[in-house]
Structure 1
Amino acid sequence: MTDRDCLPDTSSVELPPTFMLHKLRPPARLLIRSRFKVATHGIHHVPASGPVILASNHIGLVDGPLLAIFSPRPVHALTKQEMFEGRMGTFLHKSGQIKLNRFGADPSAMKTCIKVLREGRVAGIFPEGTRGAGDLGRFHGGAAYLALVSGAPVVPVTVLGSREPGGSSGSIPRRGASIEMVYGEPFRTESVAWPRTREQVVESTLLLREHMLAQLEQALALTGRQLPGPLPTGQTNIDNDPHTGVVEQGA
């Protein structure tokens, strides 16, 4: 199947830069490990080459940096556009992260992810859309869509300990806290030629969510850890996340 069969056309899309992404990972690991105890499990589930989608739960502020820095391969992660301001925005752009408008269709972000995958790189995505309990209670269709377009495997990532129970949306764990990242068994689907229907995306989204829930349970059993629970009342949570995802009641 050719790129023309799959669509959308990404020939004019600029690839995110990689220089800083590669250069900064080793010193960033040392810096983070000077404050936290970070352990990774199941990294053999991440293919050593070829396109891969890392789909992670999202409980804390540091989940994005953890995914980019500690994954076995450099990651181009979808990052909310609100972060792309000032010096932080310049840093995110130069380190290869992908700006995403969460509150509307963002074909530019999707095409950039598809370009990344077609070049055999790694795309990162948080299907929950925003920080919360990390239990996949709301689950957006972006990861499933990218898998349908590219045929790339989706590797679930469960992050535990990046927010402590009762911690706010913007909090970070105490110094010396233990953070664990568990890479689960890949979810695989065949690429589907254009036009892909909404029903196909919804069906794949539900199947991926079911798979990630099973991997989440395995991660909790493996580590003996628990999720931190919901955010405190009044904090950013599922209620102000875009209403485009599968929710627990509708799954």
Structure 2
Amino acid sequence: MRDLPDTDGVPHPTRWPLYHLNVYARWLIRRRFDVRLHETGNIPATGPVVFASNHIGIIDGPLLAIFTPRPVHALTKLEMFEHWFLGPFLRWAGQVPLYRMGSDPAAVKMTLRVLRDGNAVGIYPEGHRGAGDLARFKRGAAYFAMVSGAPVVPVTMLGSRDPGGGVSSLPHKGARIDIVYGEPFHVERVGWPRTREQVGHVSGLLQKHMQVQQDHALALTGRELPGPLPTEENDD
């Protein structure tokens, strides 16, 4: 079997900030929000891992990267990197730019490089912010798991957007934010070629697994999802 794409010449995203500055970032965020982590024992201590999270609020990405016990290189929409300040900061913080409107070989190769080196990536299968119920589910997480053999750890974000809050709104000061790490989803590594049918089948299994883990997270925390975004807003 062959494995594509080749990542030998792809640089690994910056790692230093994720390893050395997160403790300060956690302290700052906790001055405003009550962030609680649950079931971190489900996170593999070593080796490649894909953190697949629901997406309800604008701060989900920073929360995933800053509070997860392992440094996370999250796929982040390309538009965020076009901001004069935020773009350089995201690159400095080791996040991976992703073009969402079509294929993005550069993002795929960089993500696979991270996994090949035994590190962690973050991805949002829903594609953009919304109700966070995983009803819409893209195939990227399943693809990366199949290519790398990395387990997928479901992540349920709760409280990172208030009910009725808009696409760019922050939760109220003092809000409780729960981050629940679910049981890992495992799939055997599949060499090239990988068919669309194979990826679609695994993605469907992963979606069901994440929905079960999300139900568990809701029961564990006694929380509810915030509901859909206001009808006039979207995160395209």
Q: If the length of structure 1 is used for normalisation, what is the TM-score?
A: 0.92
Which residue in the other structure is 2:106 paired with?
Answer: 108
| Residues 117-148 of structure 1, C-alpha deviations (whole Å, 9 max, x = no match) | 00000000000010000000110000000000
| Residue 128 (structure 1) aligned to one of 126, 129, 133 | 126
Query: Which amino acid in the other structure matches residue 138 of structure 1?
Result: R
4+ long deviations beyond 2 Å: none
Using the alignment, how far apart are the partners of 1:111 and 1:204 within structure 2? 20
Partner SS, residue 193 of structure 1: coil
| Residue 22 (structure 1) aligned to one of 19, 26, 37 | 19
Please report the RMSD computed on the Cα atoms of aligned residues, expressed in angstroms: 0.9
Q: If the length of structure 2 is used for normalisation, what is the TM-score?
A: 0.98
| Residue 174 (structure 1) aligned to one of 137, 161, 172 | 172
The Cα shift of 1:23 comes to 2.1
Matched, 1:95 2:79: no
Using the alignment, how far apart are the partners of 1:76 and 1:84 within structure 2? 14
| Residue 144 (structure 1) aligned to one of 139, 142, 145 | 142
> 1:21-100 maps to which residues of 2 (within 5 A)?
21-85=18-82, 86-100=84-98
Partner SS, residue 16 of structure 1: coil
Which residue in the other structure is 1:161 paired with?
Answer: 159
Using the alignment, how far apart are the partners of 1:215 and 1:189 within structure 2? 17
Partner SS, residue 21 of structure 2: helix
Using the alignment, how far apart are the partners of 1:140 and 1:209 within structure 2? 9
| Residue 185 (structure 2) aligned to one of 167, 184, 187 | 187
Which residue in the other structure is 1:246 paired with?
Answer: none
| Residues 1-51 of structure 1, C-alpha deviations (whole Å, 9 max, x = no match) | 7xxx22211001111011122222010000000000000001111101100
Query: Which amino acid in the other structure matches residue 9 of structure 1?
Result: D
Among the aligned pairs, what percent are the same residue?
A: 60
Count residues with an aligned counterpart: 235
Residue ranges of structure 1 left out of the alignment (5+ in a row)? 241-251
Using the alignment, how far apart are the partners of 1:179 and 1:20 within structure 2? 23
Partner SS, residue 104 of structure 1: coil
Which residue in the other structure is 1:225 paired with?
Answer: 223
Partner SS, residue 97 of structure 2: strand
Using the alignment, how far apart are the partners of 1:173 and 1:210 within structure 2? 28
The Cα shift of 1:233 comes to 1.1
Matched, 1:198 2:205: no
